[in-house]
Amino acid sequence: MNESNEIKEFDILGHKVRLTESSTDINPDEVIKLLKAEIDSITNHSSNLDRSKTILLASLKLAADNVRLKKECKEQINSFESSINKAMEFINKFKVVEDNSTIVN
């Protein structure tokens, strides 16, 4: 296999996970680091949970964060589009006034 499709194996609380590293995707090491940090946070607050529930809660937290960020991103894009449309309307009104003006000697 070439470097752009390298398969990496990770251990998540005793579960072996294999991820493919692609040049167009996010680095699997970053994903696993984020997941492990969330698992550590949950373990620090609720050390009595079994491993599977801890992994599930961490995954749900990260999924919820993902949904929230996508929503915020979409709202920002809509806001930018609205601002651009308003600016274009202003520019077009100015251009129409300029085109309709006459020079008086």
Question: Which helix (DSSP H) or strand (DSSP E) does residue 12 occupy?
Answer: strand 7-12
Q: By C-alpha distance, which of 58, 3, 51 is closest to 33? A: 58
For residues 19 and 34, the answer to whether their CB atoms sit within 8 Å is no
Residue 24 pLDDT grade (very low, low, confident, very high; cuts 50, 70, 90): low
Task: Give residue-wise pLDDT tens across range 38-81.
Answer: 999 999 998 899 988 999 999 999 999 999 999 999 999 999 99
Taking the domains of the chain in order of start, what are their residue ranges?
3-100
For residues 9 and 17, the answer to whether their CB atoms sit within 8 Å is yes
Q: Which residues pair with 54 in a beta bridge?
A: none
The pLDDT score that the predictor gives to residue 105 is 45
Task: Give residue-wise pLDDT tens across range 27-37.
Answer: 888 889 999 99
Residue 1 confidence (pLDDT) above 60: no
For residues 19 and 31, the answer to whether their CB atoms sit within 8 Å is yes
DSSP state at residue 105: -
pTM: 0.68
Q: 3-class DSSP state for residue 17?
A: strand
What mean pLDDT is reported for the chain? 84
Q: 3-class DSSP state for residue 14?
A: coil
